[in-house]
Structure 1
Amino acid sequence: MKKSLKIIGIILGILFLSVVGYGAYLYFSVTSTANEIHEPLERDADKSDKRTEKVNVDNQDPLSILIAGVDSSGEAHSGRSDTIIVLTVNPKEESIKMLSIPRDTRTELIGRGTTEKINHAYAWGGIKMTVDTVENFLDVPIDHYVSVNMEGFTSIVDALGGVTVDNEFAFSQSGHQFNEGENVLNGEQALAYSRMRKADSRGDFGRNDRQREIVEAVIQEAAQVSSITRAGDMLDAVGKSVRTDLSLNDMWSVQSNYKEARHSIEQLALTGPSQRIDGLSYVIISEEDRLAASNELREHLELEGASTATAE
């Protein structure tokens, strides 16, 4: 039992880093998985350009994490990042803010020099262009990232034994029926639930809400003792589906120093009208809303000064 508890601790740390983490882990049992998912960001320095100093995890400095859900098939990690969520974690306040950015948001793609949908950044330049583009758009540093192959994500949910969501209204998607109220979902159902938008009057904005709900449901389910017996399946699922710039030692430090922040998770979302430009439909985020979101995250990260930077 003690060994299983240690193993599940690192699995949780791998999945959503500072959001989760319950107990220690057995280092050598998970080293191969940690090495498999470790993909450092190619930066000129070991920190974001939007920070004057590197985050000190041991001092519990607030940090940010980009979660990119990549819409690809099989075990591939290429395609478009149709899920873009920025987490800011303030361990001293014991709180997390979770901001969704609509996939069709029109903005400059940093490193490409074009104005396109924000989810195109991953297709053109992988996680590096995605991080740079999100940093420019929000004027906040992205300290770390987790990318998840959404097709492979189903195996993570199945390894947990399913997740529970509270559905606002009944709908069907991809051959699955989701009733109003509490639903217990397996991996395939969770993926379908998170992808539905056509039956929702809010379209992509409603889909963003369900994506954040699934992320939070995974966090809560992973905390349950019943998940411990599924450690082997989770290690395999994580290795196939997740990539992150954090090393094993980094994950241990984050898990140890930031785990209490999970007790308060505030879900935020950017919204805006759709507009057709050159035959394509974009979501247009107003400067007022963009700056408001930027400054809320900057305050949570305890950064000096309000944002006045433009996104383009």
Structure 2
Amino acid sequence: MKKRKFKKWQWIVATLGLIFIGILIFGISVYMKFTDTVKEIHKPLDRTVSEKREEPVSVQKQEPFSVLLLGVDEREGDKGRSDTIIVLTVNPTTQSTKMLSIPRDTYTEIVGKGFSDKINHAYAFGGIDMSLRTVEQLLDIPIDYTVQVNMDSFKEIVDAVGGITIENPLEFKSSGSTFKKGQISLSGEEALTYIRMRYEDPRGDFGRQDRQKLVVQAILREGASLNSLLNYRSIFNAVGKNVRTNMDFDEIMDVQKNYNSAVGTINQLFFEQGTGKTMNGIWYYIADEEELEAIQNELRTHLAL
């Protein structure tokens, strides 16, 4: 009887040991693939610190930081334009993130060019560096990190996480697809069509911005799920081809370790009081000065500036 029990425990221990080894191998594989992907997407900026900071932000010390997220439509023969412009400020003390979409037609000074134009043209003129400097001046905050996503290929990222589910506020048709009001599931191709639709939305570019934010949040949510973890190779491959950031490996690990609660709570800010104006036959969005100042103050407070 004792011998049988011993053999039984041997079998259990051996099984647990094999499971542990399997988990360990899986973890090492994920870690190695993640490390390779971070090296691939890492693209340092020409500067080490924003002119609006005295020294670089430290995510290791859990300081509040900001991120400029650009969705870039790359076009043959030019650098493309940043048709999605989102700023995030992350504060671990208040355990919150603020998300602001900037209308791509916003009329503002293009830093480094000496004239004003649509803010999404900054990327075409001077790439990520000119975009972040222009956004910094508009919002009067430092931009610490940048994330650039190729919009034509971001559908690969959506497909890699197994598609996304969102709560759609508006029923519409676009490019042969129908998007019903309420909870809907989207593939990568459908998600790209969903965020690009503009003219059928009664709120125009503002409605488009809201849909962009819904998709971004859904991707983050799905990317953190167990199913996505098991499909990590496809996700890392899609990210490696379509995303560039100035965050290095250590900074990404520090953010993952120290800012989980903050990133999980997202408060949205909006430009709502501005007006449209046509100049030389081109339509621009003119931000309301009081609203812009209020947004600047809110973001600066959230960054503890």
Please state if 1:41 is matched with 2:45: yes
Closer, same or farther: CA 232–215 of 1 in aligned 2, 3 Å: same
Alignment-mate amino acid for residue 120 of structure 1: H
Hey, what does 1:120 align to over in structure 2?
121
The answer for unaligned runs of 5 or more in structure 2 is 1-22
- 1:235 is displaced (CA, Å) by 1.2
Single out whichever of 201-210 and 248-257 deviates more from structure 2: 248-257
Superposed, which structure 2 residues align to 1:126-145 within 5 Å? 126-145=127-146
1:194 and 2:198 equivalent? no
Contact persistence 1:4–1:231 (CA under 8 A): no
Structure-1 separation of matches of 2:35 and 2:169: 41
SS of 1:104's equivalent in the other structure is coil
Which ranges in structure 1 are unaligned for 5 or more consecutive residues?
8-24, 304-312
Q: Which position in structure 2 is the counterpart of 1:148?
A: 149
RMSD between superposed Cα atoms in Å? 1.7
Equivalent-residue separation in structure 2 for 1:240 and 1:117 (angstroms) = 28
CA distance in 1, matches of 2:129, 2:184: 36
**How many angstroms does 1:262 deviate by?**
2.2
Deviations 1:243-298 (A, max 9, x none): 00011122111211112212210111223221101111000001111111111100
Is this contact kept in 1: 2:169–2:182, CA < 8 A?
yes
Which position in structure 2 is the counterpart of 1:212? Answer: 213
The C-alpha deviation readout for 1:32-83, integer Å capped at 9, x for no partner, is 322221111111xx21110123212122110000000001269x99310000
Structure 1 equivalent of residue 160 of structure 2: 159
Matches within 5 A, 1:92-111: 92-111=93-112
**Which structure ranks higher in relative contact order (CA pairs < 8 Å, sequence separation ≥ 6)?**
1
- Secondary structure of the corresponding residue to residue 200 of structure 1: coil
Rounded to whole Å, the distance in 1 between the matches of 2:300 and 2:228 is 35
- How many angstroms apart in 1 are the aligned matches of 2:164 and 2:225? 11
Report the residue type matching 1:279 in the other structure. Answer: G
Counterpart of 1:180, as a letter, is: K
Structure 2 counterpart of 1:298: 300
Larger radius of gyration: 2
Partners of 1:70 and 1:77 within 8 A in 2: no
Task: Tell me whether 281-290 or 50-59 shows the greater mean CA deviation.
Answer: 50-59
**Structure 2: how far apart are the matches of 1:267 and 1:3?**
40
Seen in structure 2, the aligned counterparts of structure 1 residues 283 and 52 have a Cα distance that, compared at 3 Å, is same
Most deviating of 104-113 and 243-252? 243-252
User: How far apart, CA to CA, are the structure 1 residues paired with 2:172 and 2:28?
Assistant: 39
| Residue deviations 1:89-141 (CA, integer Å, cap 9, x gap) | 00111100000000000000001111000000000100000000000000000
**Residue 77 and residue 270 in structure 1: after superposition, are their counterparts in 2 closer, same or farther (change >3 A)?**
farther
State the match for 2:36 in structure 1: 32
* Percent identity over paired residues: 49
| CA distance, structure 1, for counterparts of residue 226 and residue 116 of structure 2 | 47
Is the CA contact 1:68–1:81 (under 8 Å) kept in the aligned structure 2? yes
Offset, 1:4? 4.9
Partner of 2:5: none
What is the SS of the residue equivalent to 1:151?
coil
- Deviations for 1:209-260, whole angstroms, at most 9, x for unmatched residues? 0001110111111121111221111111111110000111221112111122
Structure 1 pair 220/101, CA: closer, same or farther in 2 (3 Å)?
same
On the 8 A contact 2:44/2:246 being kept in 1, the answer is yes
Deviation digits for residues 176-196 of structure 1, max 9, x if unmatched? Answer: 110110000010111111111
Q: For each residue in 1:122-169, what CA deviation from the matched residue of structure 2 results, as whole angstroms up to 9, or x when unmatched? A: 001000000000000000000000000011110000000001111112
Kindly indicate whether the alpha-carbon contact (under 8 Å) linking 1:77 and 1:149 is maintained by their aligned counterparts in 2. no
Distance 2:127 2:248 in 1: 19
Would the aligned equivalents of 1:5 and 1:228 in 2 still touch at CA under 8 Å? no
Amino acid at match of 2:160: A
Corresponding residue for residue 235 of structure 1: 236
Counterparts of 2:78 and 2:61, CA distance in 1: 33
2:79·2:123 contact (CA, 8 Å) conserved in 1?
yes
Distance in 2 between residues matched to 1:243 and 1:169, nearest whole Å: 32
